[in-house]
Chains A and B, each alone.
Chain A
Amino acid sequence: MAQSKPITKKKKKERDPKRVIAPLVVLVLIYIGLEVGLRVFQVPSYVLPTPTNILIETAASFSIILPDLLFTLKIICIGFCIAIPSGILLAALFSQFDILVKAMQPVVIWLVITPMITLIPLMTLWLGTDPNLRVIIVIIQATPIICLNTLNGFTRVEQEKLELARSVGATKLQTFVSIIFMNALPQVFTGIKLGCIFSTIGAVSADFVSRGMGLGDRIIKFTKYSNFEESYGCIVLIALIGITLYTIVELIEKRIVLWKK
């Protein structure tokens, strides 16, 4: 019998502690470096406040920030959760017809590139000024990038895998579910991860244009009244939302896409 590699399931689950600690060390070093550097060179706080001051001032104003944080979080999460199935379903629909793939690809790329905040003034005209409508911006900002990556995955199936399906007489649906979709899953997740970033950008830029609510709006207000520490605090919070979403998606991906290392 040919010798096979022993299956190393245990090894996979064991996490190398260095890989967890290393990024934390970098984070601490950046914090200390900034804290010391900013004080030594006496950088004014309107350029860059010290990390400690950012933390203290942001914590002190947290009750003011909280409603905006929750609002932006809500907009991002709802928009993102609608964008994921929309992007995948659109890609699934296009992929059924070769001609549609070719026809839609440039359109989708065009939509990916267009900054959707440019539509806000017009949208206000069509739909009114309800801040919850910013969800639409998030959806149209994130859906095309998810669709594009998924479509990419759908069209990259090895011929032999499709031949296997034909040789056992698989139906179109069976072939799609068991081969085409599974084959595309890594790319689908790439699309979703990019969708996290696009959703965050979409929501904050909508705040900038429409004003009145949200973390984007809060940043402008804080800056206007020279509360630079809080402005930076809000920026950190926005980044945290994006990172959290990204990490959640990555964790789910690791549980589902077991065959890729």
Chain B
Amino acid sequence: MQTPKIKFDHVTKVFETRSQTIVAVKDYSMEIQAGEFISILGPSGCGKSTLIRMLDGIIDTTEGDIFIDGVKVNLGGKKKMPPEVLRKMGFIFQQPNMLPWYTVRENVALPLRVFGLKGKEWEDRVDELMKMVGLEEYANARPSEISGGMLQRAGVIRAMVHDPEILLMDEPFGALDELTREQMNMELLDIWQKTNKTIIFITHNIEEAVLLSSRVYVMGTNPGHLVETVTLDLPRPRELSMITQSKFIEYRQKLESYIGEIDLSKIK
């Protein structure tokens, strides 16, 4: 069998605060193959963001191991993930998370600076990506001067600038309005089809999860754990018009039933 691109092996994360111990993620396992687009679906506080933060070395694991290409990447304790592992991943935050003191282009090129990737080919890549999402004329603007949708596009290409194999997306379009969000989702599918990256997409929006991914991991709260894995047998390329088809609705209802006991109105 093929080595999975990403593997979570019985991963547990416990946060210790002064007053209490919180189990954010309990005994979580999953395997993702190279080039897959999967979603992790669950209500706020189910630990889904914690999962990809552990994968990207932002926080450490308490128990269990994480593997990328068969190599264990969580080194335990305060040990930082080596740069060659981090370079395989790009993280897209819920907010654009731009640094306001840099221009849009400087923000996009930030990972190159940190990873020490210099030279014309990388500079050209920045310009190419800026052009791809329509940001080229805002290269020298400050983040405060452009719209939220534009900023999130900058956030997406910043995560791609060092040509990672894996994109980790933490409810990336959750803060945008419905129309922009739909548009960005379609743009994302387009990028994925062209580049064949492995994508982990975190969301609490069922429709979004069904529309985008090949498999959905449903998580529950208290403590955060895997409830169910649902494989979506829908044709690609996906289109917005699919959301009215019976198969789509069937999947949606199935996923709804797994997180049904959670009051959805409270999540947003």
B150 and A167 form a contact (CB under 8 A): no
Bound: A2/B147 CA distance, A = 8
Q: Could you mark each residue 80-123 of chain B with 1 if its beta carbon is under 8 Å from any beta carbon of chain A, else 0?
A: 11110010010101010101110000000011001100000000
Closest CB-CB distance, B2 to chain A, in whole Å?
27
B57 and A170 form a contact (CB under 8 A): no
B147 and A169 form a contact (CB under 8 A): no
Within 8 A of B (CB), among A166-222: 166-170, 174, 178-179, 182-183, 185
A156 at the interface (CB under 8 A from B): no
Residue from A4, A163, A166, A261 with most neighbouring chain B CB atoms (10 Å)? A4
B33 at the interface (CB under 8 A from A): no
Which A residues lie within 8 Å of B58 (CB)? 163, 166-167
B110 and A168 form a contact (CB under 8 A): yes
Bound: A183/B134 CA distance, A = 28
Which B residues lie within 8 Å of A165 (CB)? 114
Which B residues lie within 8 Å of A258 (CB)? 101, 142
A167 and B86 form a contact (CB under 8 A): yes
Given A160-B95, A168-B110, A170-B114; A5-B101 close (CB under 8 Å): no
B141 at the interface (CB under 8 A from A): yes
Within 8 A of A (CB), among B36-82: 53, 56-58, 80-82
Size class of the B contact interface (CB-based, 8 Å): 35 or more
Closest CB-CB distance, A177 to chain B, in whole Å?
11
Closest CB-CB distance, B158 to chain A, in whole Å?
9
B231 at the interface (CB under 8 A from A): no
Contact of B138 among A7, A167, A168, A178 (CB under 8 A): A7
Given A163-B58, A170-B114, A182-B99; A5-B93 close (CB under 8 Å): no
B99 and A169 form a contact (CB under 8 A): no
B115 and A3 form a contact (CB under 8 A): no
Q: Which residue of B lies closest to A182 (CB)?
A: B101
Contact of A4 among B53, B99, B115, B146 (CB under 8 A): B146
A167 and B91 form a contact (CB under 8 A): yes
A39 at the interface (CB under 8 A from B): no
A254 at the interface (CB under 8 A from B): no
Bound: A99/B29 CA distance, A = 37
A163 and B180 form a contact (CB under 8 A): no
Supply 27 A–B pairs (Cβ within 8 Å), ascending by A. A2-B180, A3-B147, A4-B138, A4-B150, A7-B141, A160-B93, A160-B95, A160-B97, A161-B99, A163-B53, A163-B93, A164-B91, A164-B110, A166-B56, A167-B56, A167-B58, A167-B91, A168-B110, A169-B57, A169-B81, A169-B82, A178-B99, A185-B101, A258-B142, A259-B100, A259-B143, A261-B144
A168-B86, A258-B101 given. 17 additional CB < 8 A pairs? A2-B150, A5-B145, A7-B141, A161-B97, A161-B99, A163-B91, A164-B97, A164-B99, A169-B57, A169-B80, A169-B81, A169-B83, A174-B114, A182-B101, A185-B101, A257-B101, A259-B100
